[in-house]
Structure 1
């Protein structure tokens, strides 16, 4: 565990970075996204923050709050249902029209449900889309701006980082097999909540691990949030809501404070120990592939690197990264370019 005082000291030091850092928070109007955005605004100079979500009323309150927290900050809300990839593209186009760089892409969008597959008009499951496809699309669309930030010659302005908050070890927790159904990666014919969690987790892992190699100036982090009180269960039916309340009551002694979670995720989003591959720094942590400073990191809630998993290493040996990238590009081509449903 990284000591909380260490985290807070590091975050306070971000004021030494160049002013005008740009951060995009996908799912930033509640929960961990909001908490991390708040810490980003508190600890940086003249930041420009984009909050992407659906709750405009809540966003307007947050914009006022962040403006008071840091009067030099600028916050822009983009209202969007990003379970649809076409809406992800629109949001990214709006950002790209205004910004020349993005220093941080931070993604927490998702929701909790007891329901089965809920297919969107694009042919993808809604939950799966939020937990993986939309996140991958944000990365792909904003990589040119992340590359620009990475190539800034000023070391105080070249922060370039992607953070996806989900769970790198979801497919192997509770004795999970850690396997992928390569013949049905989108789970069109084999959907279950368990399979969705496993696929979304592993696909976040290896999609970003592959990008870390092709974009060596940007570091990619997949972080486990642990149990945190957020709005993830909003929209549950009355019976499911009661079940959720009971579960959270049982978990309360083990839950991470939302404020601390925001502090820790800001640390993960900015600490030099999670260096991009091109930095080849001695101080860099061990990356997801077991290589120090690989540019791809799988983190626990406390900012420690998660332990090595033989099952996930086996997926890498099977060529999971290449297969996931190929599948993802097929989905993007079908849905975003050809404007058809997948498959």
Structure 2
């Protein structure tokens, strides 16, 4: 476990980075993205923060909060329903029109539901689209800008990281149905969680090789109260679990640490970083990392190793690009 004292000591050093770091928080109008954005603003110089979400009122409140913490920060809200991949493309196009680099892509978008399959107009389950496909599309679209940040001429501004908050363990401890990756025929809440996790794991494994100057992190955040807990039964659950939960500010601090700490180095730079940790595939500094809420790495499992040996990385990314092609390039439905 990374101690909170060590987390805070590291975060306090971030002002030594060059100013004007660019961070994008997808799902940034609530919960963990909100808490992390606050700490990002608090600990960096003149940051440029993008909040991507649907809630204009929440975004206005958070923007004011961020500006009160750091008056030199620039905050922009991009209103999009990112359960639709074509709207993800619109958000990315807007960012690309304004920025030449992105230092941090931080994604928490999703929601809690026990309902069955609920297809969007693009043919994907709504929950599944948020848990995986939208995140994968953001990573795919913004990878060149993240790579540009990694190659910045100013050596102090080489932060380049993708951070997805979900749960990597689900995808490497349960069986994956390769014949039905998008769960058209075999949808359940459990299967959706498993597939979203596994697809996220192997997408990051693939992208860490394709873009070796960027780190990719998939993290299980622990129990943190979010706006998703608005229903009465979830509020009651949070009350019961409160002794085991992570405080909102601590969650933001820990996520900022994991999103910036050198120990989770990109593949291309790992050899030069002291204390770099093992990647999700068991290889030190492989550039893609599975983390627990407290910053500790999660080891690979026999099931994950078996999937890897069966070519899961290539198979699942091929499926992902097929979804992208049908929806985003052809303008159709998957």
TM-score under structure 1 normalisation? 0.95
Pairs within 5 Å for 1:118-157: 118-157=118-157
Residue 339 (1) aligns with residue 331 (2)? yes
Q: Deviations over 1:90-114 (max 9, x none)?
A: 0000000000000000000000001
Conserved in 2, the CA contact under 8 Å of 1:161 and 1:269? yes
In 1: Cα distance, 2:232 partner to 2:16 partner: 47
Deviation at residue 294 of structure 1 after TM alignment = 0.5
Deviation at residue 299 of structure 1 after TM alignment = 0.2
In 2: Cα distance, 1:29 partner to 1:167 partner: 21
In 1: Cα distance, 2:205 partner to 2:171 partner: 16
Name the residue aligned to 1:51.
51
**Which of residues 185, 189, 193 is equivalent to 2:185?**
189
Name the residue aligned to 1:277.
267
TM-score under structure 2 normalisation? 0.97
Bigger drift between 85-94 and 243-252 goes to 243-252
Conserved in 2, the CA contact under 8 Å of 1:109 and 1:130? yes
In 2: Cα distance, 1:233 partner to 1:251 partner: 12
Deviation at residue 137 of structure 1 after TM alignment = 0.3
Pairs within 5 Å for 1:269-308: 269-279=259-269, 280=271, 281-308=273-300
Name the residue aligned to 1:90.
90
Deviation at residue 311 of structure 1 after TM alignment = 1.6
Name the residue aligned to 1:201.
197
Deviation at residue 314 of structure 1 after TM alignment = 1.5
Name the residue aligned to 1:237.
none
Residue 263 (1) aligns with residue 259 (2)? no
Pairs within 5 Å for 1:19-98: 19-98=19-98
Conserved in 2, the CA contact under 8 Å of 1:288 and 1:298? yes
In 2: Cα distance, 1:275 partner to 1:171 partner: 23
In 2: Cα distance, 1:247 partner to 1:322 partner: 39
The number of residues matched between the two structures is 332
Superposed CA RMSD in Å reads: 1.1
Q: List gaps (5 residues or longer) in structure 2.
A: none
Q: List gaps (5 residues or longer) in structure 1.
A: 235-240
**Which of residues 299, 313, 318 is equivalent to 1:321?**
313
**Aligned partner of residue 188 in structure 1, secondary structure:** coil
**Aligned partner of residue 119 in structure 1, secondary structure:** coil
